[in-house]
A and B are shown apart, each in its own frame.
Chain A
Amino acid sequence: MELHGQHVVLRPLRVDDAELTLGWRQSDRATLLNRGAASVADQAAWIASRPKTELNFVIQLRSGRPVGMLSLVNIDEVNGRAEPARFLIGDPDSVKGLPVALEALKLLYELVFDQLELHRVYGTVVADNRLMVKWHKSLGMKEEGRLRQHYFIAGRFHDGICIGMMEDEYRTVALPRMNALIGAAAAGTQIVSRSQGTS
């Protein structure tokens, strides 16, 4: 399954993405994600063993360049819920000036609510990852609780912030806000591109 947007494509994560994605997971930007594999072989084995309750994607630019990853895990059709996870822009220089992260999340939410017809998305973010917490809350998620000392990362325990969003909140809050941010940001990018004679 591929998800196509104006700026990005979400395509399935493959075993041959192991080296690339391991590099992203071991970068400083991924410090506050759960600990990942330690070697390319481990990463390949991890990718190959993903269960059917997960959809794992590589975020690609329209040019085909892979720039990040994003997953939907714990897909539960009985209870109508799923968890966006492993959201990481691994190649920030390549996405500068493009609303890549915004559109990638929007495509994932469209999958959840329009294609899978689920009722709710939810997740837990490391409390110290303040920008990510604010990002999700600004894009429609609501804070639903706090799990004390829920993660052990970089030698110490961290609280987890529980967040969630229902379908109606997605349609009335998140989607219009994401559309506006993507549209207005893209308008700025096009103006810059035209002024530089690149399009």
Chain B
Amino acid sequence: MITTDVVDTIIFRALEALNAERDPEDQIAVSSATSLFGVDAALDSLEFVSLITDVEASLNLDHGLEISLADDRAMARPQSPYATVETLRDYILEIAEET
């Protein structure tokens, strides 16, 4: 069973990978409250898709979870699972439990 801490670490690592591509003065502040997609988002579209891809890859390669974070389940939710690190983590934990 994957834990909250593990998922947080995966998402934080993906955000750090984005920071490695950014200028030192333009770093994303990495925390559970980091806004991923929305008006106040820290990420642009390219970075957002990159983050989703890296998180999916890590869940699969490091934890054997073949999870798509971009399918009908994500679209059907009343609140976007992509709003913050916290909402994405909760969404991952929820669908990991179903897997």
Contacts and interface: CB of A to CB of B under 8 A. Distances in A.
Are chains A and B native binding partners rather than an unrelated pairing? yes
Interface in A82-99: 89, 92, 95-97, 99
Contacts of A187: 75, 77-80
B38 to A, nearest CB: 5
Interface string A156-199: 00000000000000000000110111011111110111001000
Interface residues of B, number: 29
B72 A176 contact: yes
A177 B56 CA distance: 13
B75 A183 contact: yes
B14 to A, nearest CB: 11
A95 B79 CA distance: 20
B39 to A, nearest CB: 4
Given A176-B72, A180-B71, A185-B37, A139 B49 contact: yes
B40 interface: yes
A186 B70 CA distance: 13
B30 interface: no
Contact of B40 (A97, A102, A138, A184): A97
Q: Is the interface of B mostly helix, strand, loop or mixed?
A: loop
Does more than half of chain A's interface fall in helix, strand or loop, or is it mixed? helix
B75 A188 contact: no
B37 A177 contact: no
B78 to A, nearest CB: 7
A191 B45 contact: no
Interface in B20-43: 21, 37-41
B31 to A, nearest CB: 18
Contacts of B53: 134, 137-138
A10 interface: no
A72 interface: no
A44 to B, nearest CB: 29
Contact of A189 (B39, B45, B71): B39
Given A101-B45, A192-B40, 12 more contacts: A97-B38, A97-B39, A130-B21, A131-B21, A132-B46, A134-B54, A135-B50, A181-B49, A184-B82, A188-B79, A188-B80, A191-B83
24 contacts: A97-B37, A99-B37, A101-B45, A134-B46, A134-B50, A134-B54, A135-B45, A137-B53, A138-B50, A138-B52, A139-B49, A176-B72, A177-B68, A177-B71, A180-B72, A181-B49, A181-B82, A183-B75, A184-B74, A187-B79, A188-B80, A188-B82, A191-B83, A192-B38
User: 7 shortest A-B CB distances, which residue pairs?
Assistant: A188-B80, A183-B75, A97-B39, A101-B45, A138-B53, A180-B70, A184-B74
